[in-house]
Amino acid sequence: MCARNKETLQQAAEKIRKQYNAEVFFEPLNVTDPTAVHHFVEAVVKKFGAADICVTNAGGPPAKGFLAASIEDWRKAVDLNFLSAIYFAREVIPHMQRKHWGRIITITSVTTKQPVAELVLSNAVRAAVVGLVKSLANEFGKDGILVNNVGPGFTATDRLKELAKSRSAASGSTEKEIFDGWAADAPLKRLGEPRELADAIVWLASERASYITGQTLLVDGGLYKGL
């Protein structure tokens, strides 16, 4: 596991160790730093002997409309949400090729299928990740490497609270009204739970999804309105 905040990361690792009696290796790093990603993957392989499954998940860019987003905002969004996935793929694919088995799973958003208002940075940059996923799936399927993307809808996380606060300030609606509106927009009439997203990721990483690659699986409660 890796993340920027060492304290939060350590707490999560300890919780997993206690709950599942699992061996957990963690290292604080910034996924926009390709050198740090390289050393992290090297350390993982040294400790566990392989890099079989790689799940990339970086926090989303700030909620902004197009004219409010600066060029620097765009650069940061590309670094955080697109290039970080490339850095990890470059590091893990050679290890997966040697074993002729691997799973790369990127976490993006329902915005890859249906843009969300005031999220122009995410709408655009995360769509690029889908193009990357499809390209990697096509190129490395012969090596036994499956590459898929998971797109959550409105899920009860701190990120959603940040978005609700931004929308509340812009619209004059309360944060509760914003949350209720999101829930009402999905056929299931509720927000997603983080564990529901996790279950989809675990399934894609397993042998039960052995003939699925190059796909985007939405975990959105039916929020996406297209066919």
Residue 9 counted as domain residue: no
Q: What is the pLDDT of residue 225?
A: 94
**In the predicted model, what is the mean pLDDT of residues 117-129?**
95
Residue 134 counted as domain residue: yes
Range of the domain at 133: 58-88+102-219
Give CA–CA dist 83/81, Å, rounded: 6
Q: What is the pLDDT of residue 167?
A: 83
Give CA–CA dist 121/115, Å, rounded: 10
Residue 27 counted as domain residue: no
pLDDT digits (tens, 9 = 90+) for 146-181: 999 999 999 998 878 888 888 888 888 999 999 999
The domain that holds 115 is classified in CATH as: 3.40.50.720
Q: Structural domain tally of the chain?
A: 1
**In the predicted model, what is the mean pLDDT of residues 40-48?**
98
Q: What is the pLDDT of residue 130?
A: 98
Residue 15 counted as domain residue: no
What global pTM score does this model have? Answer: 0.94
Q: What is the pLDDT of residue 172?
A: 87
How far is the CA of 83 from the CAs of 58, 131, 147, in angstroms?
11, 13, 16
Residue 143 counted as domain residue: yes
Q: What is the pLDDT of residue 218?
A: 98
